Amino acid sequence: MVAASDPFVLPRLSDVADALIESPTTYLTNAATTLQVAATGLAAGFGAAVGLALLMSEVTPVRRAVLPLAVVLNVTPVVALAPGLVVAFGFGATPKVLLTAIIIFFPVLVNTTTGLRSVPPAVLEVFTSLHASRLETLLLLRVPTSLPYVLAALRVVLPLSLVGAVVAEFVAAGSSAGLGTLIRNTAAASQLPAMYAAVACLAVMGLLLLIVVSALERRFLHWHDSQTPRP
């Protein structure tokens, strides 16, 4: 009851709305900065993961060598890497992009690898009987089969890229812009309405990203059972 009535613990929704209305440019500018970091990190991590998954699906020694290392990377608290990344790459956007890319790398790698290797044996035998090359089998069979897995990973990592960008802005020294930095600064100054307004912006951005994924699924998976209306 105290938390519900104490504005220094939980501000009223009207106060949060007022904070958004009073300074919309501040939130839009910082949201654009966070989205840029998230998008760049997503592109880097997603591209690296898909490329490595394609290689792992075709070359068994690579899969056996890389997958344990990817598991180790996944269980390592990536926040602990932030100071080292700042030392290595400076105080710009690069450490934050790398941290975001690392966070989203493993889910995409695992899902894509699983999808590429989940081809029905009967269909694979048909391609073999037609003397399809490995490249033809990859492009015409394995890649289309993996699309549901890839888009399922994208549904996870798109919002996760925002989380990665915000966490990177929290912990990266020298960060001066972004919603994560705004949340950190307003929380330190006990400006809770402004802090929750920044959190609300993140929630809206995450929802919009999920809508984008749903649109991609309808566009590229119209043939899949998951897009068939249930009776």
Q: What is the pLDDT of residues 55-110, one digit of tens each?
A: 888 887 888 887 788 777 777 777 777 777 777 777 777 888 888 888 888 889 98
pLDDT of residue 47: 92
Q: How far is CA 76 from CA 29, 53, 108, 135, in A?
A: 32, 20, 17, 35
Range of lowest pLDDT (39-43, 72-76, 227-231) = 227-231
pLDDT tens track for 119-157: 888 888 888 888 788 888 888 888 888 888 888 888 888
List the Cα angle 81/48/169 in 5-degree steps: 35
pTM: 0.79
CB 38 within 8 A of CB 186: no
Torsions phi, psi for 131 (to 5 deg): 60, 40
The pLDDT assigned to 72 comes to 78
Q: What is the pLDDT of residue 2?
A: 46
Spatial CA neighbour of 168 closest among 230, 97, 225, 70: 97
- 164-198 pLDDT, tens digit per residue, is 888 888 776 566 778 888 888 888 888 888 888 98
221, two tokens: 């998976």
Question: For the domain 12-218, what is the CATH superfamily, name and number?
Answer: MetI-like (1.10.3720.10)
How far is C-alpha 146 from the geometric centre of its chain's CA atoms? Answer: 18
Q: Which of 72, 49, 42 is nearest to 165 (CA)?
A: 42
